Amino acid sequence: MDLSQDTDDLLANFPQWAALRHALAENNKDPQLWGELVSYVEGLVATQLNTLKTNPQLCELLADDFRSLLARFPYLTEFWKRFVAIEYSIEGLEGSVAILEEAVASFPSSCELWVDYLNVVISNNLKDEPQVRDLFKRAVAHVGRQFLSHPVWDLYLDWESKHAGVTALEYVQILLQVVQYPLHQYARYFESLYEITSNFTIEDLIPAEKLHSLMESSYPGKQLQDLDADQVKDLSDSYFNEIFTSCYTRVTERWEYESQLTKQNFDLLPVSDDDMARWIKYLDFEESKGDVEQIKSLYERALVPTCSYETIWLKYLRYLIRNSQDTEYIVSLFNKGCDVFVSADQPTIRYMYAKFYELKLEHHEKARQIYISMIAAHPTETHPIARYVQYLCGRLGNEHTCRQLLRLLDVYTEKTTDELDADFGELRSVLNMWNAANLVVEAARIQWVRRKDVRAARDVLFAYIKTELVRCSVAFWTFFFKFELAQKNTKNLANIVNHVKYYGQLPTTCINQLLDEYREHLFRTGSLEQLQPNRELVRLILETDIESSTHMKHFLKARLSANRDEDPVNKRLIKENGHPGVVSEYRPRLVNPIDFDASILAQRDAAQMPRFTNVERATMPLKYLQMDETN
Amino acid sequence: MSDLNVDDLPKDWLELSRYLHNNAHDFSAWEQLVSAALKLRHDAVSSRLVAISYENLLVNFPYCEQYWCNYAEYLFHTGRTDEAREIYERGVEVVPKSMVIWTKYLDFVVETVHQYDPAVAVFERARKEVGLHFYAHLLYDRYLQFLKAHRRVKEYHYLVRRVIEVPLYHYSKYIKQFFKLIENADLDTIKYLVTKEDLKTVYKLSWPDLIGRKDDRVFTDLKKDMRKRYMDIYITTQYHVFQLWPFEEAVTRPYFAPDELERRELHNWNRYLEYCETLSLKSSHKDSDSAITKNTRKLIDTVYGRCLIATAYYPFFWIKYSNYYLNLNQLDRAKKILVTGIYHCATENVKLRLRLADLEVLTRNLSAAKAVVVDLLQIYPNSVQAWLKLLQLEHLGKNKDLLQLVEAKLDEVAGTEHEPGFDYLFLELLSYNLELEPFLLKYQHKSSYLFWKACIDYYYLHSPDATKLQHTYRLALEKLGDADRARLEGYLDGVVEKEYF
pLDDT in tens, A529-546: 877 757 888 999 999 999
Provide the shortest C-alpha distance from residue B284 to chain A (in Å): 9
- What's the average model confidence in pLDDT over A491-499? 93
Which among A359, A449, A549 has CB closest to B460? A449
Tens-digit pLDDT profile for residues A251-288 = 999 999 999 998 999 988 899 999 999 999 999 999 99
Which among B132, B192, B202 has CB closest to A606? B192
In this prediction, residue A295 carries a pLDDT of: 96
Asked, for residue B185, whether it belongs to a domain, the answer is yes
- Which ipTM did the prediction report? 0.88
Q: CA A248, CA A256: separation in Å to the nearest integer? A: 13
Tens-digit pLDDT profile for residues B174-217 = 999 999 999 999 888 999 999 999 989 988 888 888 877 666 78
A583 residue type, one letter: V
Provide the shortest C-alpha distance from residue A315 to chain B (in Å): 10
Residue pair B135/B122 in contact by the 8 Å Cβ criterion? no
Are A514 and A585 contained in the same domain? no
In B, minimum Cα distance to A619 occurs at: B239
Contacts of A526 in chain B (CB under 8 A): 396
Name the pLDDT band for A631 (thresholds 50, 70, 90). very low
Task: Give, for B467, the enclosing helix (H) or strand (E).
Answer: helix B466-479
- Altogether, the residues listed in chain A come to a count of 631
Tens-digit pLDDT profile for residues A377-434 = 999 999 899 999 999 998 999 999 999 999 999 999 999 888 889 999 999 999 999 9
Contacts of B320 in chain A (CB under 8 A): 547-549
In this prediction, residue A235 carries a pLDDT of: 87
Contacts of B229 in chain A (CB under 8 A): 609-610
- A81 to A114, A123, A484, A572, B253: CA distances (angstroms): 11, 17, 63, 66, 64
Q: CA B451, CA A7: separation in Å to the nearest integer? A: 61
Residue pair A588/A613 in contact by the 8 Å Cβ criterion? yes
Residues 6 or more apart whose CB falls under 8 angstroms from that of A414 comprise none
Tens-digit pLDDT profile for residues A550-567 = 999 999 999 988 888 888
Which among B202, B317, B327 has CB closest to A609? B202
3 state SS of A612:
strand
SS (H, E, C) A190-242: HHHHHHHHHHCCHHHHCCHHHHHHHHHHHCCCCCHHHCCHHHHHHHHHHHHHH
Asked, for residue B237, whether it belongs to a domain, the answer is yes
Question: CB atoms < 10 A from the CB of B406, how many?
Answer: 21
Q: CA B315, CA B317: separation in Å to the nearest integer? A: 6
In this prediction, residue A158 carries a pLDDT of: 95
Asked, for residue A220, whether it belongs to a domain, the answer is no
Which among A523, A538, A588 has CB closest to B326? A538
Considering Cα of A153, then A158, then A159, then A165, what sign does the dihedral take? Answer: positive
Are A591 and A549 contained in the same domain? no
Contact B323 A542 (CB under 8 A): yes
Q: CA B456, CA B463: separation in Å to the nearest integer? A: 10
DSSP structural state of residue A271: P
- A558 to A542, A550, A570, A583: CA distances (angstroms): 14, 12, 10, 21
In B, minimum Cα distance to A450 occurs at: B495
In this prediction, residue B215 carries a pLDDT of: 67
In B, minimum Cα distance to A348 occurs at: B490
Are A450 and A485 contained in the same domain? yes
* Range of the structural domain that residue B477 is part of: 429-501
Question: Which CATH number do you get for residue A406?
Answer: 1.25.40
Residue A2 has pLDDT above 60, yes or no: yes
Return left, alpha or beta for B390; rule: phi > 0 is left, psi -120 to 50 is alpha, else beta: alpha
Contact A600 B362 (CB under 8 A): no
Are A465 and A592 contained in the same domain? no
Which among B192, B323, B362 has CB closest to A537? B362
Q: CA A90, CA A69: separation in Å to the nearest integer? A: 19
Contacts of B120 in chain A (CB under 8 A): 601
Contacts of B466 in chain A (CB under 8 A): 452
The residue from B215, B250, B285 where one domain ends is B250
Which among A550, A605, A608 has CB closest to B274? A550
Asked, for residue B283, whether it belongs to a domain, the answer is no
Percent of chain A predicted with pLDDT > 90: 61
3 state SS of A623:
strand
Name the pLDDT band for A82 (thresholds 50, 70, 90). very high
In B, minimum Cα distance to A590 occurs at: B236
In the predicted model, residues of chain B with pLDDT beneath 50 are: 1
Which among A521, A596, A612 has CB closest to B295? A596
Contact B433 A535 (CB under 8 A): no
In this prediction, residue A116 carries a pLDDT of: 95
In A, minimum Cα distance to B399 occurs at: A527
3 state SS of A339:
helix
* Range of the structural domain that residue A596 is part of: 581-631
In this prediction, residue A230 carries a pLDDT of: 87
Contacts of A550 in chain B (CB under 8 A): 274, 278
In this prediction, residue B214 carries a pLDDT of: 62
Residue A628 has pLDDT above 60, yes or no: no
Contacts of B333 in chain A (CB under 8 A): none
Residues 6 or more apart whose CB falls under 8 angstroms from that of A332 comprise none
Residue pair A159/A166 in contact by the 8 Å Cβ criterion? no
3 state SS of A589:
strand
Q: CA A99, CA A309: separation in Å to the nearest integer? A: 27
Return the higher-pLDDT residue of A303 and A530: A303
Are A409 and A468 contained in the same domain? yes
Contacts of B397 in chain A (CB under 8 A): 528
Q: State the total domains in chain A.
A: 2
Q: CA B344, CA B63: separation in Å to the nearest integer? A: 9
Q: State the total domains in chain B.
A: 2
In A, minimum Cα distance to B247 occurs at: A578
Are A601 and A565 contained in the same domain? no
Contacts of B364 in chain A (CB under 8 A): 528, 532-533
Contacts of B431 in chain A (CB under 8 A): 485, 488, 520-521, 524-525
Asked, for residue B475, whether it belongs to a domain, the answer is yes
Contact B431 A547 (CB under 8 A): no
Asked, for residue B487, whether it belongs to a domain, the answer is yes
Which among A387, A390, A596 has CB closest to B294? A596
Residue A359 has pLDDT above 50, yes or no: yes
Residue B339: HSE in the Cβ half-sphere, 13 Å Cα cutoff: 12
In this prediction, residue B347 carries a pLDDT of: 79
Provide the shortest C-alpha distance from residue B57 to chain A (in Å): 30
Task: Give, for A135, the enclosing helix (H) or strand (E).
Answer: helix A129-143
Asked, for residue B199, whether it belongs to a domain, the answer is yes
In A, minimum Cα distance to B129 occurs at: A597
Are A561 and A507 contained in the same domain? yes
Task: Give, for A19, the enclosing helix (H) or strand (E).
Answer: helix A15-26
DSSP structural state of residue B96: T
- What's the average model confidence in pLDDT over A560-583? 86
Which among B278, B291, B396 has CB closest to A573? B278
Asked, for residue B279, whether it belongs to a domain, the answer is no
Q: CA A184, CA A176: separation in Å to the nearest integer? A: 16
Contact B161 A607 (CB under 8 A): yes
Mark B83-98 as b/e (b = at least 16 C-beta within 10 Å).
bbbebbebbbeebbbb
Helix, strand and coil percent figures for chain A, each rounded to 5: 70, 0, 30
The residue from A575, A592, A612 where one domain ends is A575
Average pLDDT in chain A: 90
In this prediction, residue A627 carries a pLDDT of: 53
Tens-digit pLDDT profile for residues A580-600 = 778 887 888 898 999 999 999
Mutation target to probe the B interface, by most B beta carbons within 10 A, among A276, A311, A549 is A549
Return the higher-pLDDT residue of A176 and A31: A176
- Chain A / chain B CB contacts < 8 angstroms: 201
Are A513 and A548 contained in the same domain? yes
Residue pair B454/B427 in contact by the 8 Å Cβ criterion? yes
Question: CB atoms < 10 A from the CB of A3, how many?
Answer: 12
Contacts of A605 in chain B (CB under 8 A): 195-196
Are A495 and A598 contained in the same domain? no
The residue from B203, B222, B250 where one domain ends is B250
Phi/psi for A73 (5° steps) reads -130, 80
The residue from A575, A594, A621 where one domain ends is A575
Are A469 and A606 contained in the same domain? no
Residue pair B382/B421 in contact by the 8 Å Cβ criterion? yes
Phi/psi for A118 (5° steps) reads -65, -40
Contact A449 B196 (CB under 8 A): no
Q: CA A251, CA A246: separation in Å to the nearest integer? A: 9
Are A509 and A590 contained in the same domain? no
**Paired strand residues for A624:** A582
Contacts of A557 in chain B (CB under 8 A): none
Tens-digit pLDDT profile for residues A506-529 = 999 999 999 999 999 999 888 888
In this prediction, residue B1 carries a pLDDT of: 47
- B287 to A549, A607, B294, B322: CA distances (angstroms): 21, 21, 9, 21
Q: CA B357, CA B339: separation in Å to the nearest integer? A: 11
Are A394 and A478 contained in the same domain? yes
Asked, for residue B38, whether it belongs to a domain, the answer is no
The residue from A575, A606, A623 where one domain ends is A575
In this prediction, residue A379 carries a pLDDT of: 93
Residue A133: HSE in the Cβ half-sphere, 13 Å Cα cutoff: 12
Q: CA A444, CA A460: separation in Å to the nearest integer? A: 6
Biggest alpha carbon distance in chain A? 143
